[in-house]
Amino acid sequence: MTQLDRLSSEDIAARLSGSPEARAALIREGAQAGLAEAQAVLGQMLLDQQKPAEAFGWFWKAAQQGHAMGLNMLGRCYDLGWGTPVDKLRAAECFRVAAEAGLDWGMYNYGSALALGSGLTQDKAAALGWFEKAAAMGHAKSANFVGSFHEEGTIVPRDMAAAAACYARAAEGGDFRGMFNHARMLAEAGDIDGALLWIERCGAEAKPVFRDKALAWLAQVPDVRLRTEGTAALLKER
C-alpha cells in the first residue's frame, strides 16, 4: 500500500483545494504511485514548465497503461519533438490508438495526420470521418475542420450552409479559427455587426501567425467598415 492509498477522499479533496504546491505534490505522488491519470497530468504540468524531456517520460508511463490522453500527448511529443526526436510515424500511431479509445483530441490529431499525410498515407476522406466523430462530441477544432471540408467541396459536395453551421459551432466552442470562419460567413450574409463581434473575439484568442492571415484577408474585403473596424479589433491590445 502506498502513502496515497492511505488518504481518505476527504484528505485528497483538502489537498486538491489547497495551494498550487500542495496540488502539484499530490499529483506527483499519484504519478509516482503508478496512477496513469496523475502521470498524464504531471506530464502536462512539466510541459507547461518548459521541461519537455521530463514530460515525455511521464506521458510514456501513462501511455504504457493505455491512458488515452497520455497516448495523445506522447503523440504530440513525437510530432513536435518535445523531449524526443521527431517521429511522425510514431506520432500518428499514438494518435490512432487514442482516437480508437474514444478520445476527441486523439481523433482530431489522427484526423490531422491523415489530412496532411503526416507519418502515414494521406487520406482526406478518413480524416473527415475522424473529425466528424470528434465534432459530434463537441470538439470545436474538429467542427471547424468539418466546416472546411464542406466549404472546399472536394471530399463531400460543397455545402455552404453546412459549412456555416460547423463554423458557428466551432466559434461558440472557443476555436479561434472557427471564430474567424464564422465571421467570414456572417460577413458574406451581410451581418457586419456579427462578423465584427467574432473578429474581435478571434483577435483575443488567435496566435500571432493566424492573426496576420486574418489581417491579410481583411485588407482585401470590399466593405469599408468591416475592413477598418475588423483590422482595429484584431490589432487591439489585450
Per-residue pLDDT tens over the stretch 29-88? 989 999 999 999 999 999 999 999 999 999 999 999 999 999 999 999 999 999 999 999
Angle, helix 36-48 to helix 68-80, in steps of 10 degrees: 30
Question: 31-37 — which CB contacts under 8 Å span 24+ positions?
Answer: 31/58, 31/61, 33/2, 33/3, 33/4, 33/5, 34/65, 35/4, 36/61, 36/62, 36/65, 36/66, 36/67, 36/70, 37/62, 37/67
| pLDDT of 4 strictly over 80 | no
Closest residue by Cα to residue 61 from 22, 26, 100, 30: 30
* Residue tagged 479509445 (cell numbers): 101
Q: Is the pLDDT of residue 23 over 70?
A: yes
Q: Which residues contact 9 (CB under 8 A, 6 or more apart)?
A: none
pTM of the model: 0.89
Query: What local confidence, expressed as pLDDT, does residue 1 receive?
Result: 45
What are the contacts of 46-51 at 24+ separation with CB within 8 A? 47/73, 47/82
